[in-house]
Structure 1
Amino acid sequence: MKIFAWLMIATAFAANSWALDRCSVVEAIRNGGVIGIKGYTLGDYVCMAYHASRYDTSLNRSPTEYGIFQINSYWWCDDGRTVGRKNLCGMSCRNLLNSNIEDDVRCLKRILRDPNGLSAWSVWTRYCKGRDLSSYSNWC
């Protein structure tokens, strides 16, 4: 009985989450035209997505961070409530919370034009920058 109850709770939480598998993330990034921008590798992007969200596309960790890359609503998307927002990706933040990450990658590409590049993400600087990231894209 305890196992059944545990499975029901786990299923309820999983129903609200859209975590992608690593190879799906790899494929979307490969197709998104971001590899090589400012010298970033496929591993850089996949590592950053892993540490930002564990590949959970539905993640809205804080009131201003959205999707698999945890894109900030002040600068990059419109959440309808952030005062002074810029919306430089020209999109609703809700679009970053579904399992189709093509628009997330397009916004990422726009963010990369900013001088900070991936350094805008503290998780990339802390966990990915300057490391061997080949394991993030191997076997996909």
Structure 2
Amino acid sequence: MKVLLFLGICFLAAVAVPSTEGRRMERCEMARMFKKAGFDNLVGRKVPDWVCLVQHESSYNTRAVNVNSNKSRDYGLFQINSKYWCDDGKTQGSKNACRTKCNKFLDDNIDDDIRCAKKIAQEAKGLTPWVGWNKHCKGKDLSQYVRGCF
């Protein structure tokens, strides 16, 4: 009886405590979402570029946050930076070019993330603002990032 009570309490605690890790999206889910959202051929890049970018920036985690050496932070799937693209209330002199709060990039609704990522790519005329893409994706065969997805 004590064991059942203990297991019941553990279950309730696990259900009641929100996850701080966030939702990890699946690779093919991302690929299909990017295709539907018009990422194919955006700034001359294909869906595999975007899936690779998100893999290496956030590991497909909607709630990823990283602090940079200049004290700015990167938020969400695309690791959108608080110095240039969003306002986190912590980064001095934020340009907030996407006109949104950074915490909006941490929920599971990625519509605003997509709008801002497109803006970043269009202004840069490519994916060079993302270190993960430059380091792991640029100039490589990325077909494995969408294999079996369509």
Shift in Å at residue 116 of structure 1? 5.6
- Take 1:105 and 1:40, find their aligned partners in 2: how far apart are those partners? 15
TM-score by length of 2: 0.79
Shift in Å at residue 54 of structure 1? 0.6
- Take 2:100 and 2:126, find their aligned partners in 1: how far apart are those partners? 19
Q: 1 or 2, which has the higher helix percentage?
A: 1
Provide, for residues 6-63 of structure 1, a one-character-per-residue CA deviation record: whole Å limited to 9, x for no partner. xx9xx79x92221111122112211222221221010000000000111001011225
Moved more, 83-92 or 44-53: 83-92
Matched residue, 1:49: 54
- Take 1:102 and 1:108, find their aligned partners in 2: how far apart are those partners? 10
Shift in Å at residue 103 of structure 1? 1.4
Matched residue, 1:75: 84
Within the alignment, does 1:37 sit opposite 2:42 as a pair? yes
Aligned pair count reads 133
CA contact (8 A) 1:32 1:106 kept: no
How big is the alpha-carbon RMSD for the aligned residues of Structure 1 and Structure 2? 2.3
Shift in Å at residue 80 of structure 1? 1.3
CA contact (8 A) 1:28 1:102 kept: no
Provide, for residues 53-77 of structure 1, a one-character-per-residue CA deviation record: whole Å limited to 9, x for no partner. 1100101122510001111011111
Moved more, 76-85 or 114-123: 114-123
How do 1:61-72 and structure 2 match up within 5 A? 61-62=66-67, 64-72=73-81
Shift in Å at residue 99 of structure 1? 1.5
- Take 1:49 and 1:118, find their aligned partners in 2: how far apart are those partners? 11
Q: Which runs of 5+ in 2 are unaligned?
A: 1-6
AA paired with 1:15?
Answer: S
Moved over 4 A (4+): none
Structure with greater Cα Rg: 2
- Take 1:101 and 1:27, find their aligned partners in 2: how far apart are those partners? 13
How do 1:88-127 and structure 2 match up within 5 A? 88-115=97-124, 117-127=126-136
